[in-house]
Amino acid sequence: MLGLEYAKQLDQKDPLASYKAEFYLPSDGIYLDGNSLGLLSKRAEQALLQSLEDWKKNGIDGWTEGAEPWFYFSEKLGKMSAPLIGAKEGEVVVTGSISVNLHQMLSTFYKPDGKRTKILADELAFPTDIYAVKSQLALKGMDTQENLKLIKSKDGHTLDEDDIITEMTSDVALILLPSVLYRSGQLLDMKKLTAAAHERGIIIGFDLAHSMGAVPHELHDWGVDFAVWCNYKYLNNGPGGVGGLFVHQKHFGKAPGLAGWFGSDKNKQFDMEHQFSPSEHAGAYQIGTPHVLSAAPLLGSLSLFEEVGIKAIREKSLALTQFLMELLEQEKLHEVFTMINPKENERRGGHVALQHEEAARICKALKENKIIPDFRSPNIIRLAPIAFYTSYEDVWKFVQTLKKIMDEKTYEKFENTRNVVA
């Protein structure tokens, strides 16, 4: 029997338990939406305050002076981020947003040539990925219906890697896939897919929005061509926080599709010449001036990851989601909900996904009980226990609350429609 005392015992043995105190938690509540927006840490808050202080004291000189000079900030944060995805120094820069970075990478790497004109993506992709792909196809004068090739899902929730490889045909110029599918939480075998793409002469990149800060990767060793991500989910950089991108060093020197002055060689940037002299590293793919105050919290957040290490984060994340799945089964909630996330550790990202026709109502009932889940249209509840600030006791209490809501049908008093922000 997985009871409350057992959960408390797990918390007592948890080497990361003390980090919960580093975060501002909802009062008397349980937060399970860190895969959508992570919570604020005290270190992130302090890092933001430090940048404000640098601005206050130094004005324009904050770019090169102060505690954290802004001129080199994006590169410094990139260096700190690199170990989380197995990248080499210089392959990562913190810049833009995930959508802007997608456009940058697609405009840089999508080069239709001869019969290789198609972009391969998946039908379960997050909408912004598809919007970006269609935009870039149109900008290159390509018919979007003919040149966007979508991988089909057999069950509507997951993808089969062998099915993806089958679609890597000789007319494909570029592949864009998620590392973790945003609804179901399936973790794709990126190493296998990258090797298959390169065997066929195809460029491949990944959207790491739902794996960055939750799952270790070895992007450099796998040979992944490019990747993009947001930092406001598992990396707790705050709403709208600056994103990041990875470009494998084999592509250093490749001209960015979208050139901007902050992609310049730092020593030449202020020469003000109209001839673009790009950085020799991933910094070349920056476009505009860094959004310092939206990047600053990441400095504090990444210091937590440096202390703990991504492997320890992954171990606890897997243990929490495993505990959650076992509790759902123990309370027979697996008979009420359809669990659409993979159960195998090697195929599961950082969240558990439950399907129910009354999902929107149930999420509202959970919020009434001070539990914050995540709803994804039309009928998915996503639950992300976060290694830094979710305890096993939190998970146990959540499942008991969910069981009570379902037994008593208290969700029926709410409308089964999503809020404006779901």
pLDDT digits (tens, 9 = 90+) for 41-69: 999 999 999 999 999 999 999 999 989 99
In a 10 Å sphere around its CB, with 0-12 CB exposed, 13-18 middle and 19+ buried, how is residue 199 labelled?
exposed
The bridge status of strand 244-247 relative to strand 226-229 is antiparallel
Query: Any binding-site annotation on 128?
Result: yes
In 10 A of CB 111, how many CB atoms? 13
- The answer to whether domain 4-31+309-413 and domain 47-307 are alike in fold is no
Q: Quote the percentage of the chain above a pLDDT of 90.
A: 95
Query: What is the Cα–Cα distance from 386 to 157, expressed in whole angstroms?
Result: 23
What's the confidence (pLDDT) of residue 416?
A: 86
- Res. 80: pLDDT tops 90: yes
* Residue among 152, 80, 146, 102 nearest 285 (CA): 102
Query: Any binding-site annotation on 129?
Result: yes
Query: What is the Cα–Cα distance from 20 to 395, expressed in whole angstroms?
Result: 14
Please state the rounded mean pLDDT for residues 374-385: 96
Please state the rounded mean pLDDT for residues 92-117: 98
- Res. 422: pLDDT tops 70: no
* Residue among 148, 150, 105, 106 nearest 124 (CA): 150
Query: Any binding-site annotation on 99?
Result: yes
Query: Any binding-site annotation on 375?
Result: no
CATH number for domain 4-31+309-413, candidates 3.90.1150.10, 3.40.50.300, 3.40.718.10, 3.50.50.60 = 3.90.1150.10
- Res. 397: pLDDT tops 90: yes
In eight-state DSSP terms, residue 293 is H
Are 185 and 349 spatial neighbours (Cβ–Cβ below 8 Å)? Answer: yes
Average pLDDT, the chain: 97
Query: What is the Cα–Cα distance from 368 to 411, expressed in whole angstroms?
Result: 10
Q: Bridge-partner residues for 278, per DSSP? A: 264
Helix axes 310-330, 392-408, angle to 10 degrees: 30
In 230-372, beta strands by DSSP E = 244-247, 338-339, 352-355, 371-372
Q: Domain segments of the chain: what residues? A: 4-31+309-413, 47-307
What's the confidence (pLDDT) of residue 152?
A: 97
Query: Any binding-site annotation on 210?
Result: yes
For the stretch 242-268, pLDDT in tens is: 999 999 999 999 999 999 999 998 898
Query: Any binding-site annotation on 127?
Result: yes
C-alpha dihedral over 335, 377, 190, 224, to 10 degrees?
Answer: -170
The band of 418, judged by pLDDT with boundaries at 50, 70 and 90, is confident
Per the rule left: phi > 0, alpha: psi between -120 and 50, beta: everything else, 309 is left
Residue type, 405: I
* Residue among 129, 122, 125, 123 nearest 103 (CA): 129
The bridge status of strand 118-122 relative to strand 148-151 is parallel
**CATH code for the domain defined by 47-307:** 3.40.640.10
Reduce the DSSP state of residue 28 to 3 states and report it: coil
- pTM of structure: 0.96
Residue with tokens 């808050």: 45
Are 124 and 153 spatial neighbours (Cβ–Cβ below 8 Å)? Answer: yes
Query: Any binding-site annotation on 232?
Result: yes
In 10 A of CB 80, how many CB atoms? 18
- Res. 333: pLDDT tops 80: yes
Query: Any binding-site annotation on 207?
Result: yes
Query: Any binding-site annotation on 15?
Result: no
Catalytic residues: 126, 207, 232-233, 382
